[in-house]
Amino acid sequence: MEKLTFDKLVVVGIVLIVAANGLAFLFHAGILVNLAWIVYGTLALLHPVCPARWKNSDREKNAILGVRIAGILCIAIGLLTRFVV
């Protein structure tokens, strides 16, 4: 399996949210979108990666912290919002 990079993390998130929106509209189940946000936030929280240009620099810790904060925000969106289809 390939190593997860920042670009792949963003693409996985976009694909996950778009697929969940499509399935939610198809099955009339808004909870699928909430679950997608929670899964994506958990992925970012558990496996944070920073952009390649910030590797081995003094910005790497701040970038990883930013990705973790973004993961927490994604989980909060999934838990606090109600997506009605």
Note the pLDDT of residue 43.
Answer: 94
Note the pLDDT of residue 35.
Answer: 95
Note the pLDDT of residue 70.
Answer: 95
Q: What is the pLDDT along the chain (85 residues), one digit of tens a residue?
A: 678 898 999 999 999 999 999 999 999 998 999 999 999 999 999 999 988 888 888 889 999 999 999 999 999 999 999 877 5
The closest of 63, 60, 10, 69 to 40, measured between CA atoms, is 10
Rounded to 5°, the CA angle 65-46-78 comes to 90
